[in-house]
Every structure is written in structure tokens, then in C-alpha cells.
Amino acid sequence: MDGVRGLVVVVEDDAAIADVERIYLDDAGFTVHHSPDGVSGLAAIRSLHPVAAVVDIGLPGLDGIELCRRLRADEDWTPILFATARDSEVDRVLGIELGGDDYLTKPFSPRELATRVKGLVRRSALGRRSSVLQVGSLAIDTRARTVMNDGARVELTATEFDLLAYLMTNAGQVFGRTQLLSAVWGIADYRGSRTIDVHVGQIRAKLGDTVPLRTVRGVGYVLGE
């Protein structure tokens, strides 16, 4: 299966951890390029255009959050999964706010890592095969992966886009947080419900009050009336 799913850049300074990640990603059908620090990792993502990147936060030279910030500043929306020993809510929220798409805390199952990466890549591919969706003044082109709100372009991360596209595809339907985790992230774990809240908050901040992305208290979220 080598290379069937595309190239993943792993940015990890611990050689043993990087080797385990490479083995499991290779078994899942990915080709893997390993960078041992943030500077070389940033260069690799920019030059190799991977289908996804697995990035440690505590990297030498350039930490993972700054790496992500620089990519997003250049409008590079390569899906990024943070894999890190840092487990504070501040780190998780900051990583997502700066454009990270998913988050795993060490120690984690390497099988789960491979599953999360497959989910990121699958959602990106599905979006490219879909059509234009529109709810009120909000329109997204899932082939070009662009978002227009009232005629103005809005920049979303890969996961923000996938979450919004899923809610738009099912406009008017209320989804619980675990349902969204399963549908968009490919996992069903109530402990990740905070991830949904953070991503919804980021989408709302970027789209403004004109888009009816509503919280249904005690249930979850719905787009539309």
C-alpha cells in the first residue's frame, strides 16, 4: 500500500516516536517524510505539498504552533494534526485558533494517529468531489474549498471548512457533539467535545453574526433555522 494515500510530513524531534509514527502511517498507505525540527519541517511542508502533516508542538528551533502560524499566514491550508506531550487547554485552543485541524496528546495510540490522519485526508478529498453549497448569504465551493459570505471571501482551516460543509449539507438538522466528532473527525469520543466547541467558535468569529450557526442547548449545533 506504500504511497497509495499520499505523502505525510512528520515533524518530530524524538527519533523513536517519529519511527513509530512512520511505521503506522506507512501501514495505513502513506508515504512519510520525517523532519526533526520546526525549521526543516516548515520547509518540507512548503516544498513537498503533503496531504497532511503531523507536527509536535515542543520542537527545537521553531515550535509547532509557530510553524502552523507561518503556514496559515502564507495561506497554506495543509491539514495539520498536532501530536504533543503538552496537554493544557491553552495549548489545545491556541493550536486550533492558529489553524491546527486536530490534536493528540502523548502518549497516544499510533493506530489512532493513523486513523486521525486518514480522516483528515478523506474529508479533504470528499470536499473536492462535492458541489457548491449555499445557505442564505453563505456559499462554499467544496471543489475549490473556498468560502464566500455576503460576497467576501472567508479563510477557514481544513477542519473548520469540513465542519461547516457538513453542517451546510445537513442544514436545519441538529447534531450533537459526538455526532459531529464521528462525522467530521472520524472518531466518537465525548472527551473531544471541547474540540467541537472551539472550532464552532472560530467559524462564528470568521463568519460574523449574519450566518445562523446556532447552539441548541443541551444538544449541539445546527446551521439554519
Which structural domains are found in the chain, ordered by start? 6-124 (3.40.50.2300), 130-223 (1.10.10.10)
Helix/strand/coil (H, E, C) string of 71-137?
HHHCCCCCCEEEEECCCCHHHHHHHHHCCCCEEEECCCCHHHHHHHHHHHHHHHHHHHHCCEEEECC
pTM, 2 dp: 0.60
* pLDDT of res. 92: 58
pLDDT tier at 1, thresholds 50, 70, 90: very low
Amino acid at 172: G
Q: What is the mean pLDDT of residues 70-99?
A: 74
Query: Between these two residues, 34 and 181, which has the higher pLDDT value?
Result: 34
Contact (Cβ atoms closer than 8 angstroms) between residue 207 and residue 148: no
Cα 56 from chain centroid?
A: 14
What does the pLDDT read at residue 145? 81
Residue 46 CA neighbour count, 13 Å, CB half: 15
Q: Which of 208, 183, 209 is nearest to 220 (CA)?
A: 183
- Pairing mode of beta strands 102-105, 52-55: unpaired
The 10s digit of each residue's pLDDT in 143-188 is 778 899 888 999 988 888 889 988 988 888 898 888 888 778 766 5
Q: Using CA atoms, how far apart are residues 213 and 164, in angstroms rounded to an integer? A: 9
- pLDDT score, position 30: 93
Higher pLDDT, 38 or 127: 38
Which backbone phi and psi does 56 adopt, to 5 degrees? -75, 150
Determine the 3-state secondary structure of 48 from DSSP: helix
Residue whose C-alpha is closest to residue 17's, from 2, 34, 30 = 34
